[in-house]
Structure 1
Amino acid sequence: MKTGVAGVILAAGLSKRMGRPKMMLPYNKKTIVRHVIDAALRSQLDSVLVVINPQIEGLLQEVSAAGVTKVISNDSFHLGMSTSVKKGILSMPHNAEAVVFLLGDQPGISEQVINQVIGTYQAHDKPSIVRSAFWNDEKGHPVLFKKIMFEHLLKAEGDSGGKAVLQRFSSEIVYAELNQANIPDIDTLEDYEVLVKEKGG
């Protein structure tokens, strides 16, 4: 069943705090980014696009998995996450009515979480924004934006990504209530070590 929703995986980060390309780190018999891709491909997303940093050795090959609709190289990655958001939006299939942004450094993402975000979008008469809500009232990714929001996302600058849009249009956000803890980003070596220790490498 077509949902009209595309997925964009943001995997062009500099990994400054990690000191090495975090997307390519091994975790549970795969790389971190491959866990995100596989969850997206198993979900109800109509298409899956991946925005990458072309300077990371082996990343293009790693994300070019069967089922991935398109891989987009972001040569402006050093200017912040907003450049990847824009690249993703401008590369989406024309028939997509909404986009779900996924972070390439969240290997704990599951297709169930993605599907619940899509389900919330469909159940609430397709609102402009759907944001994930976790235990302890924590908010995070994935985040869905309807097409009407794209023009605002395309004006984002630096590392803000969609944060400014979320703040500006906070009254239009519908929350997908997820019965779980927030999904951690892997930003530092310590984050990675905790992940491997808790879940197994």
Structure 2
Amino acid sequence: MTDLPIILLAAGASSRMRGTDKLLEIVDGQPLLRRQAARARGVTTGPVLVALPPPPHPRYAALSGLDVKPIPVPDASEGMNASLRQAFAALPPDAPAAMLMLADLPELTERDLNVVAQAVDLTSETLIWRGSTEDDKPGHPIVFTAALFPAFANLTGDGGGREVVAQAGTRVQLVPLPGQHARLDLDTPEDWAAWRAGR
């Protein structure tokens, strides 16, 4: 699916960073948010929707010049499900599926996104295709078929869409990605320091 819409979740408060913004941490010479948005843009001709805190916010400047659509989330403080409600509602009405990814997974590569996108088979019974770690732990990105889109409209709290994944039951296909690419997030200054030391 070369025109798969991609939703990038980037509206969280970064509260565990003690005053700095993890999505604006510099990785490979650019803010992490811009780097991950560019990776999403590189794998699809479809729209890239970025869920963001309400403006004004420095994250908007980090995306300047990129062909992505900011989706302000007025109630972002509620939790991740507020972002999912807003972003899924903003998808093109004819989209047969959409990819969801978190902005704070620094090891997730363009190749990883492509591997998951290429696993999608809309003629199958599968409803979700999901990146996993090398030891089979489910992570991101996640592709949802359009049959599941309505389920996002009523989500509340900070479940991160787990309720929708549960609805799919056994109709979920894990797509192995290298190492811990699918799950490694960096939430604290100590996480960032350890990750940088290991690069």
Q: Provide the TM-score with structure 2 as the length reference.
A: 0.90
Report the Cα offset of residue 154 of structure 1. Answer: 1.9
Corresponding residue number in structure 2 for 1:93 = 92
Identity of aligned residues (%): 25
1:51 is the counterpart of 2:44? no
Report the Cα offset of residue 170 of structure 1. Answer: 2.6
Corresponding residue number in structure 1 for 2:111 = 112
Counterparts of 1:117 and 1:168, CA distance in 2: 20
Report the Cα offset of residue 136 of structure 1. Answer: 1.3
Amino acid paired to 1:167: A
Corresponding residue number in structure 2 for 1:17 = 16
Counterparts of 1:56 and 1:193, CA distance in 2: 29
Q: Number of residue pairs matched?
A: 197
C-alpha RMSD over aligned residues: 1.9
Corresponding residue number in structure 2 for 1:174 = 173
Contact 2:2 2:43 in 1 (8 A): no
Contact 1:153 1:161 in 2 (8 A): no
Q: Deviations over 1:147-181 (max 9, x none)?
A: 11011122221110211121232311012122433
Report the Cα offset of residue 45 of structure 1. Answer: 5.4
Q: Deviations over 1:22-50 (max 9, x none)?
A: 11111221111112111111113522110
Counterparts of 2:63 and 2:178, CA distance in 1: 29
Structure 1 range deviating more: 142-151 or 131-140: 131-140
Q: Deviations over 1:77-96 (max 9, x none)?
A: 10000010111111112232
Corresponding residue number in structure 2 for 1:65 = 65
1:75–1:142 Cα change, 3 Å: same
Please give the residue correspondences for 1:1-201 in structure 2 after superposition, counting only pairs within 5 Å.
Answer: 3-19=2-18, 20-44=20-44, 46-54=46-54, 57-68=57-68, 70-122=69-121, 125=124, 127-183=126-182, 184-199=184-199
Counterparts of 2:42 and 2:102, CA distance in 1: 16
Report the Cα offset of residue 57 of structure 1. Answer: 3.4
Counterparts of 1:122 and 1:44, CA distance in 2: 16
1:4–1:28 Cα change, 3 Å: closer
Q: Provide the TM-score with structure 1 as the length reference.
A: 0.89
Counterparts of 2:125 and 2:106, CA distance in 1: 27
Amino acid paired to 1:169: A
Counterparts of 2:144 and 2:65, CA distance in 1: 25
Report the Cα offset of residue 127 of structure 1. Answer: 2.6
Amino acid paired to 1:157: T
State the secondary structure of the residue aligned to 1:130. strand
Contact 2:11 2:76 in 1 (8 A): yes
Structure 1 unaligned segments of length 5 or more: list them: none
Report the Cα offset of residue 188 of structure 1. Answer: 1.3
1:123–1:99 Cα change, 3 Å: closer
Q: Deviations over 1:94-142 (max 9, x none)?
A: 2321111111111221111111111111387373111112211211011
1:80–1:100 Cα change, 3 Å: same
